[in-house]
Chain A
Amino acid sequence: MTENPTLLQRLTDIGRRSLGMRRRIPSAPPQPSERKKYKGYSQWRLVWRRFLRNRAGVAGGIVILFIAFCVFFAEFLSPHHVSTRYNEYTHMPPQRVHIFSEDGIHFPFVYAIHGYIDPDTGLRKYVEDRSTRHTIRFFTRGDRYSFYGLFESDIRFMGAGQGNPFFLLGTDRFGRDLFSRILVGGRVSFTVGLLAVFLSLTLGTMMGMISGYYGGVIDNFVQRTIEVIYSFPSIPILMALSALLPPQWPGYLTFMGIVTVLALVGWGGLAREIRGKTLAIRDSDFVLAARVSGSKDGRIIFRHVLPAMSSHVIVITTLAIPTFILSESTLSFLGLGIKPPMTSWGLLLSDAMNIYVLALYPWLLFPGLCILVTVLAFNFLGDGIRDATAPFGH
């Protein structure tokens, strides 16, 4: 920029920035002092700096951190226990939070609510009872919960008094709080994605690197195996495999089973990408140089090939997580994944399976929105990391 920008220039600049556009004016070359700071920065520092400049990527990362935080503290953040049924509040629509009432401004509160059967349609309807206010309280007592078996507590982040209706996202057909269920179910969906990616990444990296590094017969074998796995349509094979899980298994075993099934079906793509990358790196000069220096295969793989691939691995991992989340949702939606009393976003969505339910109780689609946001956030994050690492990645 010029030293004294005119008012017009400033305004257009502000306008551009607020629209999220890149400044067209080429920035001045970095000053010598500025450049000095870069000295000794590792690749990771440079990648990090570049990443921070990518708005969508950073936003995706923040959203993911937020979701991770929410699902980790799900019990604490949710106002109700996941399986507490409020029989007089089934299929209740999301409740409105008020600040104003007839007699002025209050701390946020909800009105008491009464259900009745509509004589014309025979459906349950709800009406606010403006005479009773339930003030929303923070760090208040609610249903007891156990925090990962570490301790038990009944302090929850918010609530409107025990037993009072406080359903921010409405309730399901048993009168369970959808907001609480989304939080707790999100933990399952989220961790399924992470664990499945971890498993398939371990498997995929191993197979891909062996395949790419040694080549020949081994490579052929691994690649044909992947092709065989990929030649099955994914949903039927997922269904078949998860149908193998014994139904009497407890929840956590089913959970691990689903993770394993997803990883077993999904490692092929990762292995392929890693194989391709390994092939390229294996023949690169710096790997040859390591061989000239007398390095053994193990050292070459772990000191040279793996680090050079790490940025790429991070990108494909980030981009693979959402597909695993989606697969889990698909399975649970079809009733072959997570089983009650555990819940997940996919399982929650299965309540909204027919058009009749959708038309009458649209709030049951909220878990779908959560999936959408999470998947998008992961994709933005992955794209951001990819862009940040691209100029350095060898």
Chain B
Amino acid sequence: MNAPATQSAPAPAAKAGDTILEVRGLKTYFPVKKGVWRRVVGHVKAVDGVDLTLRRGETLGLVGESGCGKTTLGRSIIRLIEPTAGSIHFHYGGDRIDLMQLKRAEMRKLRRELQYIFQDPFSSLNPWMNVFDIVAEPLVVNRVASGSELRDRVESLIRRVGLKPDHLRRYPYAFSGGQRQRIGIARSLALNPSLIIADEPVSALDVSVQAQILNLLEELQDEFNLTYIFVAHDLSVVEHISDRVAVMYLGEIVEIAESEELYRNPSHPYTAALLSAVLEPDPDRSFERPRMKGIVPDPADAPPGCKFHTRCLYAEPHCAREVPVLREVAPGHESKACASCLERMRAEAKEPAADAASTDGGAAESGDAGTPSAPLSPNQSPSNEGKQ
């Protein structure tokens, strides 16, 4: 799974289709209440102005540290959590439907198209229902099938995810984590959805089982023409499965690019820091300290300006004032990093040649236009002059 970045990325052009989902300015705030009267004293900005466009048939990886709002974003998109503001346009049968405008009952009908795979295979299956009832539930509540047709469909679903029909009368406790996740996948497939949001579907599983589940998800994608939003914190997993990757920090998307491009040419200091923290299964490679400082700030009290500036190694005084926007740094590659920060990042990336061979080589061949070729390198490497 941890193959070098240059090998594993699937060809995105083959899958690229029309737009299926457009998210604009999506915000999900949770009120913070205090005191006897439960006065609202602030908001946790779990998702704070996210723009996303999703193409039919692609897999968008969503990565970030714990608490950055990945899960909330995923759940907000299908209104499992009600977003505070923004629009979510879903393309369905030629129509462009704003999910935010739908009434509850209408949304319920559209849920057939928008399914969700849960992170924890142990809590996402009702322990009091047997597997048949669990997998059949979407079909039953939407009145899609009944009787022998229902049984046939459930059996074919359970076979498709690699379980046997005689597993159907057993209860969830009798299954391992990987098997349970297969059951969860069968349930989310039952209604033949077009978009599946997978919330860290493998992070609770053993590494060997992770690979099986990832392969299953990829097979199913080809077979049913699924679009995935794949939430994860494990970069190697995301790299393996994603066509494009979006990096989230404190409720915002700070960088989004095709998977290969992002891993080869990270263009936001946060992305670079995340990539530097990936552990490679190579005993000769020394462990590098993550290239950022401090911990995630309280999302209820996010820093002004660039939200990352409190942890950024390249921060300058203006970072605390100016709010950066997503801008294209290469074709199909958008980043929120400001120009000065990007420059210094690129410069530093070239300097320690021995450090990370794959990153370095990738950056060189990608031919990053607009980067001044190392005028302020070696001994001028950025100190943290402008941190606060």
Contact = CB atoms under 8 A, between A and B. Distances in A.
Contacts of B137: 290, 293, 295, 303
Interface in B151-202: 169-171, 173-174, 184, 187-188, 190-191
A304 B115 CA distance: 19
B118 A288 contact: yes
B118 A307 contact: no
A289 B191 CA distance: 13
Contact of A285 (B118, B169, B191): B118
Interface stretch (A37-45, A92-100, A164-172): A37-45
Range class of the A interface residue count: 20 to 34
Given A289-B118, A292-B111, A308 B127 contact: yes
B303 interface: no
Contact of B109 (A42, A46, A294): A294
B78 interface: yes
B123 A292 contact: no
B234 to A, nearest CB: 20
Contact of B170 (A39, A294, A296, A394): A39
B80 A392 contact: no
A299 interface: yes
Nearest to B197: A292
A114 interface: no
B187 A293 contact: yes
A339 B119 CA distance: 60
A292 B191 CA distance: 11
A310 B129 CA distance: 13
Contacts of B120: 285
A38 B169 CA distance: 12
Name the residue in B120, B123, B191 with the highest tally of chain A Cβ atoms < 10 Å from its Cβ. Answer: B123
Contacts of A307: 126, 128-129
A284 interface: yes
B116 to A, nearest CB: 5
A39 to B, nearest CB: 6
B384 interface: no
Interface in A271-318: 284-286, 288-296, 299, 303-304, 307-308, 310
A392 B141 contact: no
A307 to B, nearest CB: 4
A286 B174 CA distance: 17
Contacts of A41: 171
A294 B141 contact: yes
Contacts of B174: 38-40
B108 interface: yes
Contacts of B115: 292
B103 to A, nearest CB: 13
B325 to A, nearest CB: 33
B2 to A, nearest CB: 29
Contact of A308 (B108, B126, B191): B126
A203 to B, nearest CB: 24
A288 B111 contact: no
Contacts of B141: 290, 293-296, 299
B173 A392 contact: yes
Contact of A294 (B80, B112, B124): B112
B125 interface: yes
A284 B120 CA distance: 10
B169 A394 contact: no
A268 to B, nearest CB: 22
B192 to A, nearest CB: 13
B101 interface: no
Contacts of A392: 127, 173
A38 B174 CA distance: 8
Contacts of A292: 78, 80, 111, 114-116, 188
B166 to A, nearest CB: 9
B127 A40 contact: no
Nearest to B137: A293
A292 B187 CA distance: 10
Contacts of B80: 288, 291-292
Interface string A193-231: 000000000000000000000000000000000000000
Contacts of B184: 289
A294 B127 contact: no
Given A303-B129, A307-B126, A394-B127, 15 more contacts: A288-B124, A290-B126, A290-B141, A291-B111, A292-B114, A292-B188, A293-B137, A293-B187, A293-B190, A294-B112, A295-B141, A299-B141, A308-B126, A394-B123, A394-B126
> What 6 A-B pairs have minimum CB-CB distances, sorted nearest first?
A285-B124, A293-B138, A307-B128, A286-B126, A285-B123, A294-B111
Interface of A: 38-43, 46, 284-286, 288-296, 299, 303-304, 307-308, 310, 392, 394
Interface of B: 78, 80, 108-109, 111-112, 114-116, 118-120, 123-130, 137-138, 141-142, 169-171, 173-174, 184, 187-188, 190-191
